[in-house]
Amino acid sequence: MAAVELRGKGVTCGPIESYPNSDTKQYSDSHLKSTNVGDKIVFQCKNGFSTDGGPDSPMTFEVVCTSGGFYEPQGTCQKSTKCGRPPILTNARPTGKVLTDESKIHFECSAGFSTNGQDLDRSKSNKYFEVKCQTITGEYQDVDVPRCHPYAYEPAAEAYAKYSALFKVLFAADCPGKLKLTFAQGKPSSGLDEVCEKAAPQGGATGEDCEALVSQLREDFDREVEARKTYYAEKTTMGEGNPPNLNEEAEEFCTKMWEIIERQG
C-alpha cells in the first residue's frame, strides 16, 4: 500500500504503485510522487494480456486514489485461459499475478477481508487464494464457495468516525453523572480548574469559550447549592416538593463541552 500523507483535513495518496503485467499509459505518471483523492491514473496491459484474459478485450484500466489514502485498481491484466475472463467473486479481485500453473487465477481479498476471517498475518498469506480453470469443462472451480470473510480492519477515517461517535455517547453519559455527584457532595469538582487546559489546550477563542462555560457552571452550581440548603431548612414546614438539582445545567454544560472537544479534535 502506498504511503499516506495528511495535510490538515485532506488526504493524499503517495507515489503511484505498480501492477502486474501493465505499465502506466502515460510515462510521466510512473514518476508521480503524490495524487489527490479522486485522481485516476490509466494503466495499459502488456502484450499478451488484457483486462479479462480475452484476445479482443480492453487493454486499459484505471487506478483511483481513494479517501482512505490508498490506491484502488479498477481492473487487472490477465493472461488468457480456456475458461475465459476471471469469475466475479464477492469481496475479492484477481491480482494479475502469473502463476506457474496457467490454469489458475490468483486472487486477493478486499480490504477488511481475509481467507480465514482473521486479521492479516505477517506474510499476508491469508489475503490470497487461487481459482482453478477446469480444462475439461471450461469452467472455473468452486466459484460459489465464499473465499473471503470479514475481520476487524476498517479504514482509518471510518474507524475514527465510529470511535468519535462512541466517545460522544460515553461522554454524554459520564459527564453529567459526575457533575451531579459533586453537586450532591456540596462542592464543585477540583477538576474544573484543569478542564479547559485539556479540552482546549491551544487556548484562543475556543479556550475563552471553555472558560466562560466553566465560569457559568460554577455560578449555576453555587446558586443551586444555596437553593438546596434553603429547601432542606424549610422542608419540615413545607413537607412536599423535590429538592433543587443541577440536572439541566449539567446536561447543557456537557453538551457544549463536547462541542468544544470536537472543535479541537
Q: Of all residues in the chain, what percent carry a pLDDT higher than 70?
A: 84
pLDDT tens per residue, range 104-143: 889 999 888 999 998 888 889 999 999 998 878 888 988 8
pLDDT digits (tens, 9 = 90+) for 67-103: 888 899 998 888 877 787 788 899 998 888 888 888 8
User: Whole-angstrom Cα distance, residue 77 to residue 264?
Assistant: 46
pLDDT digit string, tens, across residues 16-60: 989 988 999 999 999 988 999 999 999 999 988 888 777 678 899
Q: Where in the chain is the domain with CATH 2.10.70.10?
A: 4-149
* pTM to 2 decimal places: 0.39
The fold adopted by the segment(s) 4-149 is Complement Module; domain 1 (2.10.70)
- The Cα–Cα gap between 21 and 18 comes to 9
In the numeric block, which cell numbers belong to residue 208?
475563552
DSSP 16: P
Amino acid at 88: I
Selected residue with higher pLDDT from 40 and 158: 40
- Angstrom distances, CA of residue 172 to CA of 145, 194, 198, 252: 45, 19, 17, 10
Highest mean pLDDT among 43-52, 195-204, 253-262: 43-52
